[in-house]
């Protein structure tokens, strides 16, 4: 059975195509302002990658902020539902999932089938999402890919007072003026964000194993700060930003946990 999952994220659209629950193709396209058009582009790319046609797909489920704007779909499923399903599929011992995307941060507790037990979402505040690290990396004039590794080279832990992305930018300028090293500032930024995410997760309680997904999971600096805050090691699957789309495709095939 061939199924497709579309994750219409705030910044990126991710597609995963499964054949008998094995990934045969995936694609990632910037959403831009015309998300439906970008969605079409992403789907075409994924279809080409799998060497199949649109009609070969039996069921498509879309998820994410723009789920209703996907070019086509048979059904929608909540992001937290898709995230948990995808996370448990990749790592069956998962009982807590943390998804940090470009504009949203989510924490959820699930059972062994990926069914949601409790969750908390932050979609109103840029300081709890990837927008924060992006804005800070621009303020420090460090390319985003280098931002995480740079923070691991820090020599000192400096707390950030500002809880808001806009205020944090002013604070960063002051720190630059006070000649704080970029590595130390990078660590301060990642620590600040990790502390917000871990507070959110603590509210719903967390059980091992904790899986971290979403684009920000690729940031090693953030993962390090988060691990220290939660006092454990989070599991980061390969291609963490695709887990939502993976979950959607799994839901389309009717996968309900187990093998």
Partner 1 sequence: MLEHLVLLLQPLVGKEVNNMAKQPEYWRWTESRWTNPDIDYKGKVITSGVDVGSVSSQAVILADGELYAYSNMRTGSNSPDSAKKAMNWAMEDTGLTLKDLSYTVGTGYGRVNVPFSQRAITEIACHARGGNFMYGPTVRTILDMGGQDCKAIHCDERGKVTNFLMNDKCAAGTGRGMEVFADLLGVSINDVGNLSFDIDKEPQPVSSTCVVYAKTEATGLLREGWPKNKVLAAYCSAMAHRIMTLLERIGVEEDFAITGGISKNKGVVKRLEKEVGIKIMETSKYDPQIAGALGAALFAKALYDKGKK
Partner 2 sequence: MKANYGYKDGSGDYFITIDTDRCNGCKSCVDACPYGVMAVGEDENDPLSDKEVAFVTEKERKKIKYTCAPCKPSNDVIPPCIKACEMDAITHSW
Contacts with partner 1 by CB under 8 A lie at 33, 103, 124-126, 131, 135-136, 138-139, 163-167, 169-170, 173-174, 176-178
43: phi then psi, degrees, rounded to nearest 5: -65, -45
* Contact partner, 167, from partner 1, partner 2, none, Cβ < 5-8 Å per class: partner 1
Pick the closer one to partner 2 by CB: 121 or 236. Answer: 121
Q: Which of 21, 36, 181, 199 binds partner 2 (CB under 8 A)?
A: 199
Taking the complex as a whole, the smallest distance from the CB of residue 15 to partner 1 amounts, in Å, to 23
Stretch that binds partner 2, among 51-59, 71-79, 116-124, 210-218 (CB under 8 A): 116-124
Q: Do residues 201 and 108 make contact, with C-beta atoms less than 8 angstroms apart? A: no
Cβ proximity to partner 2, 113 vs 163, nearer residue: 163
227 binds, options partner 1, partner 2, none, Cβ within 5 to 8 A by partner type:
none
85 phi/psi in degrees, rounded to 5:
-60, -50
Give buried/exposed letters for 62-72 (b at 16+ CB in 10 A, else e).
Answer: bbbbbbebbbe
Determine if 170 is a binding residue for partner 2 (CB under 8 A). no
Which among 129, 178, 181 is positioned nearest to 151, based on CA atoms? Answer: 181
CA angle 149, 96, 2 (to 5 degrees): 90
Tell whether residue 122 is a contact of partner 2 (CB under 8 A): yes
CA-atom Rg of the chain in angstroms? 19
Q: How far apart are CA 219 and CA 241, in angstroms?
A: 11
Contacting residues toward partner 2, per CB under 8 A: 122-125, 163-164, 199-200, 202-203
């Amino acid at each position: 059975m061939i199924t497709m999952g579309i994750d219409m994220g705030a910044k990126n659209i991710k597609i995963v195509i499964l054949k008998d629950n094995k990934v045969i193709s995936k694609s990632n396209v910037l959403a831009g302002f015309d998300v439906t058009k970008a969605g079409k582009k992403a789907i075409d790319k994924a279809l080409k990658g799998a060497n199949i046609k649109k009609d070969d797909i039996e069921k498509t489920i879309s998820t994410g902020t723009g789920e209703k704007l996907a070019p086509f779909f048979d059904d929608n499923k909540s992001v937290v539902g898709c995230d948990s399903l995808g996370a448990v599929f990749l790592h069956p011992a998962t009982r807590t999932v943390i998804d940090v995307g470009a504009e949203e941060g989510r924490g959820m507790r699930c059972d062994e089938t990926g069914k949601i037990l409790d969750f908390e979402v932050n979609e109103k505040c840029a300081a709890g999402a990837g927008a924060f690290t992006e804005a800070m990396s621009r303020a420090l004039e460090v390319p985003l890919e280098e931002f995480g590794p740079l923070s691991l080279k820090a020599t000192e832990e400096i707390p950030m007072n500002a809880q808001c992305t806009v205020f944090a930018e002013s604070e960063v300028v002051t720190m630059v003026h006070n000649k704080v090293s970029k590595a130390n500032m990078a660590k301060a930024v990642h620590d600040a964000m990790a502390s917000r995410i871990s507070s959110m997760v603590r509210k719903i309680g967390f059980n091992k194993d904790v899986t971290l997904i979403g684009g920000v999971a690729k940031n090693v600096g953030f993962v390090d700060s988060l691990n220290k805050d939660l006092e454990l090691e989070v599991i980061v699957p390969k291609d963490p930003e695709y887990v939502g789309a993976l979950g959607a495709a799994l839901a389309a095939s009717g996968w309900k946990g187990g093998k």
